[in-house]
Amino acid sequence: MFALILFLTAGVSVAFAQRRIDTLPTTQGCYRQPIAPISAIPTLHSDMPLDCILGYIYFDSLCRGVHTRNQLDSLANIIVSWDTLKPFMRFQYRMSEYDADLYEEYCDASSALNPSYYLIPAVPRYVLKQRQDSILGFRNKLSYLTMASTILHIRVDTVTDSFDSLASYPKWPLPLKCVRATVLDTIKGIHIRQSDDFSYGGSHILSTVSLINFAFSPYWQKLNPRGDNAGIGVDSLGNNYFACDSCFGFNAVQSGKEYIVFLQDIFLDYDGTNSYYTYWPFATYSTEGGIFPIDGLGNVKIPSNFFGYGNSVPIATFESSIRSDINTIISH
């Protein structure tokens, strides 16, 4: 089957790395991790799950065959139920699970690099998300599991301070927290970008050393269930501050503690040789903002009961329940 798929798609694989436009860095501070950019569309690998391969082939066909956004919307309107939506969510889940860097590169980089595409892959991804939200509801856990780049059980090793010197909102420079953590268990993710912290003893494969970096700002806003609009004010010294009761805060992640984290893979820039990425908490869907602390008794704290498992759930129960929900998405 895999050999047949490669044969069918070999003629449409387009080399284009030399045509990609350099960009300036979009952030300063914390992590800016290099990866080798993709050099062919679609990029297929022998260890990909079949649904991952089919997802890339399907997206490739859409971007080559559908000429306008209106045509794509008309096709998407055929998806009206869970039964018709599920195959597309299964493809998306497998694509992001296999390698989030590869998936983001494909969705975003091909816009400037492949002249045979009428639409960039990020467009059908967005349209499918709209159908998910319409059919399942905006805050549905199956959409959250599908859209998250990686889901990990971690123990935080260090949390250090930095700044994004290019960000002007909600304040400048924007404070950042740089998190270095040990991965205790992987719930979603096959190829996950390893830590770039050389104090760990150099660069290693994540599966053998289980280390990861991610960043967040205390001032980033999580999903607010009340829909309040945060405001900017000035303190007694005349300094701007950000009034936000649904932001992460300075103690959202603490050294020595364990968490379940839902991370989003974020493209930063391309310098002509490498693409650069970082991980952020995936704040969409859940009011916890993708960071779920584990208390001293080994219970995952979920104040909103977003997943329906309860507000305080033993880690083993939480992980088995999450995997059961994931199976709902990926089962045939």
What is the Cα–Cα distance from 52 to 99, expressed in whole angstroms? 10
Q: Is the pLDDT of residue 4 over 80?
A: no
Write down the pLDDT at residue 24: 75
Indicate the domain borders of the chain.
2-147, 150-330
CB atoms closer than 10 angstroms to residue 10:
10
φ, ψ for residue 217, nearest 5 deg: -105, 135
What is the Cα–Cα distance from 228 to 245, expressed in whole angstroms? 9
What is the Cα–Cα distance from 2 to 184, expressed in whole angstroms? 33
**CA count, 13 A, side-chain hemisphere, 103:** 28
Q: What is the pLDDT of residues 271-319, one digit of tens each?
A: 888 999 999 999 989 999 999 999 999 999 999 999 999 999 999 999 9
104: alpha, beta or left? (left if phi > 0; alpha if psi -120 to 50): alpha
Tokens of 45: 């690998």
φ, ψ for residue 187, nearest 5 deg: -90, -40
Residue 267 · residue 277 · CB < 8 Å: yes
pLDDT-derived band at 48, boundaries 50, 70, 90? very high
Let me know the angle formed at the C-alpha of 35 by 33 and 39, rounded to the nearest 5 degrees: 155
Decide the pairing of beta strands 174-188 and 299-301: unpaired
Q: What is the pLDDT of residues 103-118, one digit of tens each?
A: 999 998 887 667 788 9
What is the Cα–Cα distance from 327 to 184, expressed in whole angstroms? 21
What pTM, to 2 d.p., does this model score? 0.88
Place of tokens 């950042």: 176
CA distances from 55 to 60, 72, 90 (A): 8, 16, 8
Q: Which amino acid is at 79?
A: I
pLDDT over 90, % of the chain: 61
